[in-house]
Amino acid sequence: MPVSLQNLLVIGISSRALFDLETEEAIYQNEGLVRYREHQIAHENTLLKPGAGFALVQALLKLNTLNPEQRLVEVVIMSRNSSETSLRIFNSINHYQLDITRAALSGGTVLAPYLKAFNISLFLSLHEEDVQAAANSGVAAALLYQKPDAQVQQLDQIRIAFDGDAVIFSDESERIYQQFGVEAFEQHERENALNPLVAGPFAPVLKALAYIQTHFKSADGQSPIRTALVTARASPAHERVIRTLRAWNVVIDETFFMGGVEKSAILEAFQPHMFFDDQIVHCQLAAPLVPTGRVPGFKKD
């Protein structure tokens, strides 16, 4: 009977996001596919260093060992590599003892058509075209920045931080702010405080993490997952956020209503395995401090 990936948090990650392949990317861009192929085959047994998404993937896969009765997370390599250039990737996966057994190797073609076939919940890549195509197809996706120089601490908890509007929630309120200013935005949020916000691209990811947390409830309230909302909103725009999460039956562990204050100091203190935001400026400021992924908006063809 076929294995089902339904009811799992399925992470699709590119090989370049999982491992540091920047040297190889430069060879491909500057010297072409043939030279890239020769390099990868010649270095099949040279281990790759962890990349921008490695810490998050490693931490999430640990959940399966903490809950042996039921798998909760699957990771699928989604790569434009061909099978003949991928052995180095699989050798590195084995070396780091990552429980990854599935891969989609598209041989240079776009990956978006295969995301739903693998029931991908979240797609992570350093290739902007693939991330945008994934977002356009309705899959939560983020363009990863290079990992910060400082190593992510080996915390007992998986820590993930999210921006609010255009990430967890839709960009409806954000568009009002951009078009009409802060006063119109605050008035709109006051008038709609009792109306839940529309779910954004990362709402399913947050809900999946909340569901997984229910498998680890303990008497002291500790969980191997800890989430944070770090949003530029402030009073009076806070109430709608709180009521929306309550309507979704989702509890976020830590919430920071920044009111326009820069987010980086909070993120550095929280130490997430990944921070997701849609604003380039926030991502650029956060990326030197914590692993960061930029969430693209939907774009019509």
- Per-residue pLDDT reduced to its tens digit, 175-201: 888 888 888 888 888 999 899 999 999
How confident is the model at residue 279, as a pLDDT? 94
**Average pLDDT rounded to a whole number, residues 19-36:** 90
Query: Is residue 296 very low, low, confident or very high in pLDDT (cuts 50, 70, 90)?
Result: very high
What's the CA gap between 42 and 110, in Å, rounded?
26
Rounded Cα distance between 263 and 291, Å, is 14
pLDDT at 222: 77
Other C-beta atoms within 10 Å of 167: how many?
A: 27
Is residue 287 within 8 A of residue 294, CB to CB? The reply is no
- The pLDDT tens digits of the residues spanning 93-104 come to 999 999 999 999
pLDDT of 1 > 60? The answer is no
Cα separation, 187 vs 164, whole angstroms: 18
Give DSSP secondary structure letters for 240-277: HHHHHHHHTT---SEEEE-TT--SHHHHHHH--SEEEE
Tens digit of pLDDT for each residue in 44-76?
999 999 999 999 999 999 999 988 888 999 999
CATH topology assigned to domain 9-144: Rossmann fold (3.40.50)
Residue 265 makes CB contacts below 8 A (sequence gap 6+) with: none
Structure tokens at 260: 């326009």
Q: What is the pLDDT of residue 131?
A: 96
Cβ-contact 140, 12 below 8 angstroms: no
Which pLDDT score, from 0 to 100, does residue 153 have?
A: 61
pLDDT of residue 214: 85
**Residue 300 pLDDT greater than 70, yes or no:** no
What pLDDT score does 3 carry?
A: 57
Beta strands in the chain (DSSP E): 9-13, 73-79, 102-105, 122-125, 140-144, 158-162, 225-231, 254-257, 274-277, 292-294
In angstroms, the Cα distances linking 177 to 172, 181, 195, 202, 255 are 9, 5, 18, 20, 21
Query: pLDDT at residue 301 above 70?
Result: no
Q: What is the mean pLDDT of residues 227-247?
A: 92
- Return the higher-pLDDT residue of 274 and 67: 274
Q: How far is CA 170 from the centre of its chain?
A: 17
Q: To the nearest whole percent, how much of the chain has pLDDT over 70?
A: 93
Active site residue 163: yes
User: Is the Cβ–Cβ distance between 266 and 258 less than 8 Å?
Assistant: yes
Closest by alpha carbon to 130, among 147, 144, 114, 110? 110
Q: Which of 20, 130, 156, 163 is catalytic?
A: 163
Query: In the predicted model, is pLDDT for residue 152 greater than 90?
Result: no
Element (H, E) at 220: none
d(C-alpha 26, C-alpha 104), whole Å: 22
Q: Whole-number mean pLDDT of the chain?
A: 90
CA distance 78 to 123: 9
Choose from 101-110, 207-216, 229-238, 269-278 the range with maximum mean pLDDT: 269-278
133 pLDDT more than 90: yes
Taking residues 111-134, report their average pLDDT.
Answer: 94
Do 9-144 and 158-294 have matching folds?
Answer: yes
Per-residue pLDDT at 7: 67
Residue 237, pLDDT score: 85
* Average pLDDT, integer, range 146-150: 84
The structural domains of the chain, with segments of one domain joined by +, span 9-144, 158-294
pLDDT in tens, 208-231: 999 998 888 665 667 899 999 999
Q: Which CATH superfamily is domain 158-294 in?
A: HAD superfamily/HAD-like (3.40.50.1000)
Q: What is the pLDDT at residue 104?
A: 92
- Residue 292's SS3 state is strand
* Nearest-angstrom CA–CA distance, 247 and 267: 26
Is the pLDDT at 265 greater than 90? The verdict is: yes
